[in-house]
Amino acid sequence: MTRRAAWRPGATIAPGYEAIARIHRSNVFDVYDAWSLEREARCIVKALRPDRLAEPAKRRRLLAEGRLLESLSHPGIVRGYETLTRPEPLVVMETLTGETVSHLVTRRARPLSAHELAFLGLHLASAIGYLHSRGFLHLDLKPSNMVAENGRAKLIDLSLARRPGRARPGFGTWCYMAPEQARGGQVGEPADVWGIGVVLWEAACGDTPFGDESVEYPQLEGRAPALRSERRLPAPLAAIVDRCLEPLPGDRPSLPELRQALEPIAGARG
């Protein structure tokens, strides 16, 4: 197979889609701002990097993500427009106008308030609860995988989403995966509750609670620091985030319990 180059502005990505700019590159994927001739509107096109095109597993993973996104309809999950198989696997999604939560937390001079943290948690719990109702786990919740747009957090990457069951060790992102993901084995809904907890901890403190690069998986070496040891926050908020980060899946709250704890905080400003 001849390796194609990255698409330059104005290049045809696929029939009906023209590249405007490449806006992100990961280890596996390229993400493009693109123009849809049919819709007469901008959209996002997710593609495999040129050096990954010959890898069947990566092709299947991208197509699975696209088909899943097309089947979902929730305000907290990016909308999937179309999944193409030719000339190569491509996923077409709606364009979002906000910024990633990671960028938001880094940019702001002041950390998110307790009210804002609670709203973020509620939005994530709603989107993840809907995904669970469709029989899928997310398994890669992190601030860079969600966009803050018009006061709502929206998940933009479902590339690791899968059914509950056994997972290989290290299935996820190093410092964000639940202990059972790092260790490998049975993975269920509590793994995503852990992911929400890590996101809220980082949004509150500006850094992940598991950033020790001297060990392979810091979440297997010890507990997350208690949130109130890092920042003064209402005790109920800190307590529910700490519970989300319990090492044993059965000790974490359910999503309904998490929502019940966050709702009074989200509804009380000041």
Query: Mind listing the pLDDT tens digit for each residue in 13-57?
Result: 999 999 999 999 989 999 999 999 999 999 999 999 999 999 999
Which of 30, 33, 51, 140 is the catalytic position?
A: 140
Average pLDDT over residues 195-201: 97
Residue whose pair of structure tokens reads 């920042």 in the numeric block: 231
Across the chain, what does the average pLDDT equal? 93
168 and 57 in a common domain: no
112 and 63 in a common domain: no
Q: Which two tokens stand for residue 90?
A: 């491509």
In a domain, 4, yes or no: no
103 and 87 in a common domain: no
Q: Which domain holds residue 84?
A: 12-93
| Per-residue pLDDT at 269 | 45
Q: How far apart are CA 60 and CA 56, in angstroms?
A: 6
Average pLDDT over residues 114-127: 96
142 and 78 in a common domain: no
88 and 117 in a common domain: no
Give me the sheet containing 146-149, strands edge to edge.
99-100, 146-149, 152-155
In a domain, 22, yes or no: yes
51 and 34 in a common domain: yes
| Per-residue pLDDT at 109 | 80
Res 125 pLDDT > 90: yes
Q: What is the pTM assigned to this prediction?
A: 0.92
103 and 59 in a common domain: no
pLDDT band at 151 (very low <50, low <70, confident <90, very high): confident
In a domain, 127, yes or no: yes
| Per-residue pLDDT at 216 | 86
Average pLDDT over residues 114-121: 96
45 and 115 in a common domain: no
136 and 55 in a common domain: no
In a domain, 207, yes or no: yes
Identify residue 139 by its one-letter amino acid code.
Answer: L
In a domain, 190, yes or no: yes
Last residue of a domain, one of 75, 93, 111: 93
In a domain, 171, yes or no: yes
pLDDT band at 270 (very low <50, low <70, confident <90, very high): very low
Query: Which is more confidently placed, 119 or 270?
Result: 119
Q: How far apart are CA 81 and CA 71, in angstroms?
A: 10
In a domain, 58, yes or no: yes
Question: Cα angle vertex 225, ends 221, 231, to 5°?
Answer: 160
| Per-residue pLDDT at 2 | 56
72 and 122 in a common domain: no
Average pLDDT over residues 230-247: 96
Average pLDDT over residues 242-261: 97
Res 257 pLDDT > 50: yes
107 and 80 in a common domain: no
Look at the chain and report how many structural domains it folds into: 2
How many residues are listed for the chain in this entry? 270
Last residue of a domain, one of 76, 93, 110: 93
51 is catalytic: no
106 and 52 in a common domain: no
Last residue of a domain, one of 36, 58, 93: 93
